[in-house]
Each structure stands twice: as structure tokens, then as C-alpha cells.
Structure 1
């Protein structure tokens, strides 16, 4: 995350705290992040130097018309300061900062196939054991190149139990012995 995105996220969180709307804005930021992340066209519009600032602002305010006043203020400020491309990063930073303040730990598990509910429960138990937190959000990413097993990321910790990692270790051991 860029420093600017973090500063904007902290500012919007401070404003939301003053109005007791931090949870509402959290929902907004999740929506904003998912919308921008899922739309190449919107990402292109935000990045484009050719599209006028007023057109960007108008488009964003229409797309996010159902969001809170704080989110509309953020959009206005970002566009006015020629920082519209930061909107996705600001939303992500807000989500991370909010979760951190709430004691929510975010974990990512990368598997070769989508998680079953049974495996998800086992992963959640492991994350709770590692973090000591009952508040955990789990994101599953599918990457067939890991062949099998999983890679678990929680904060700075990464636990790699993938087949591709084990095969790589075996290859390195054979290379050393030859």
C-alpha cells in the first residue's frame, strides 16, 4: 500500500469514528474494493489521464450512490486532489486498518482446488491457534500450480505445505547430493 492511500484511509476512519459510522464505512469500503477489483474498465477509467476529473467523479458517485456520505466525501476529495487512482488502495487500507482495530486477523489460504467446508474449518482452527484470535477472516485463493496441499498466510507468517514446495525441496536435496 502506498503511504498516501494509508493516510487517506486513516483520515476517513477518523472521520467515521467521530460520527460513529466506522462499521458503515467499513461495509462501503468492502463494496468499493470489490467493485473496483472486479472491473478492469473501472480501473482503466480511474487511471486514465484523458478522462476529465468531473467525469470520473460523476461516474464514481453514480456507481457508489448507495454508499454513505463519508464515502462520497472521500471520492470527492480523491478526485479533486487528482488521486482517483488511489481509491481501490484507500479502500483496501481502510479494511486492513479497521480489521486491525477490531482485532480481526486476516488469513489467506492458497489451495489447488476450492476449499471444502470441512477443510475450511480445519484451516480456521489452525489460524486461531497461530494468532490466538477468535476473529478471523479467511480468503481462499485457488492456484492449480501448487499441485496439492496448501499455503497459509497470516500476517507475516507463511506456512507452505504445498506439493510443489515439497517437490522443490526434494529437487534441491538431490542436486546437493549429486
Structure 2
């Protein structure tokens, strides 16, 4: 009894991610953990995510509801063979296809990424800037953000360029949200001026 309880605990994800994507990601985490294939599956799903990000035609094909699921399954099985994906990953993608959930693949992959970041002790930080940071700015940012990370955890910084923020930066680190964008400052100033008139 205590052994099966310990197995259930070890298969439990380090964080809870909600929604449909979270449910599928948690199920995959439990199966991969049980088979000691977390790193393998993580690498394979990262490859799938990168491929979908880079190949717009494939991403559109996979998420198109008018395409027959058998056609999607054939294309994804060919991709899995080409990438030499494990049975666990290829069967998982086949399950999503069979259940007509490929339109939620982005949510599933996002939930998986969150779970694996927590598993690896990574603190994910999403940063938006109006233009790309140079290496010295990136170094300063990393040093400033390191203060938010507990000892033993590592920092994983995802950067995104968003010209609509005009300048400055918008960031999310863990459950904290920081908005130091020029666009927000302009909006606040405009609101103060219009209230004063």
C-alpha cells in the first residue's frame, strides 16, 4: 500500500496547470515519469513546438478543423518517424488527433513547458521589449532578475519583441507582473490630463 502511494506521489507533477491543455500535459507527465522518459519526451515535444513555430503551413494544417483527422494523423505519424520520436510521444500526439484535440495542441505544449520548467527548478520569466536587447542589456536584465530567484532555482528568460509598448519593458516572473512600458506611462499621463480638464 505504501509503495503504490509513493509511486503515485512521484508521478505527480510539481505544479498544477489547469484547463484542457493542463489535463493532457499532466497525464503525459505521469506516463513519462513512470517510464523514466521525462527528458526524452520533453526534447521531442520541444522539437514539435519549434517545428510548428517555424512551419506555418504545417501549423495551419494541424489546427484546421476541416481537414480529416486521419490525414492529420498520417502527416504527424510521418513527422514522428522522421524525428525518431519515442512511442510515448508519438502515441500522445495520435491520442490528441483521435480525440480531435489538435486545435488545443498549443495549450498542451504550453502546459507541458510550465510543468517541465517547475520540474527542472526553473523560474520562467517572460519579457517584452519594443526592440531586441543587445548582449550587455541582456546581461543587466539577467542580473536584475536573479534577485527574484530562490537559491537552487535557475532563471529561464523568454524574450519577445512587441513594438506596441513603444519602449521600456513588460515582464512576468512567476506570479509577479511588472509593466514599465512607455505605452502604459503615456496612457496613464493621458488619463491624468483628461481627468484634470
Instruction: Calculate the TM-score normalised by the size of structure 2.
Output: 0.80
Please point out which of 165, 169, 176 is paired with 2:184: 165
Instruction: Quote the Cα distance in structure 2 between the aligned partners of 1:163 and 1:49.
Output: 40
Q: How many residues get paired?
A: 178
Aligned-residue offset at 1:37: 3.1
Q: CA deviation at 1:45?
A: 2.0
Indicate how the Cα distance of structure 1 residues 2 and 84 shifts in structure 2: closer, same or farther if over 3 A, else same: farther
The corresponding residue for 2:196 is: 177
Is structure 2 residue 24 aligned with structure 1 residue 8?
yes
> Whole-Å Cα distance in 2 between the matches of residues 49 and 167 of structure 1?
41
Aligned to 1:83: 101
Q: Which residue of 1 aligns with 2:163?
A: 144
The residue aligned with 1:135 is 154
CA contact (8 A) 1:32 1:88 kept: no
How far apart are 1:173 and its partner, in Å? 2.4
Displacement after TM superposition at 1:2 (Å):
6.7
Distance 1:103 1:62, change over 3 A: same
Question: What TM-score do the two structures reach when normalised by structure 1?
Answer: 0.88
Structure 1 segment 105-124 matched on structure 2, within 5 A:
105-124=123-142
Offset of residue 99 of structure 1:
0.8
Q: Are 1:153 and 2:153 matched, yes or no? A: no
**Unmatched 5+ stretches in structure 2:** 1-16
Q: Over aligned residues, Cα RMSD in angstroms?
A: 2.0
Deviations 1:13-46 (A, max 9, x none): 1111112110111111212222223333223322
Q: Tell me the distance in 2 between the aligned counterparts of 1:145 and 1:48.
A: 29
- What stretches of structure 1 move > 4 A for 4+ residues in a row? none
| Residue-by-residue CA offset, 1:44-94 (whole Å, 9 max, x unaligned) | 322334322221111012223312221101012112222222223212211
| 1:60 alignment partner, one of 60, 67, 76 | 76
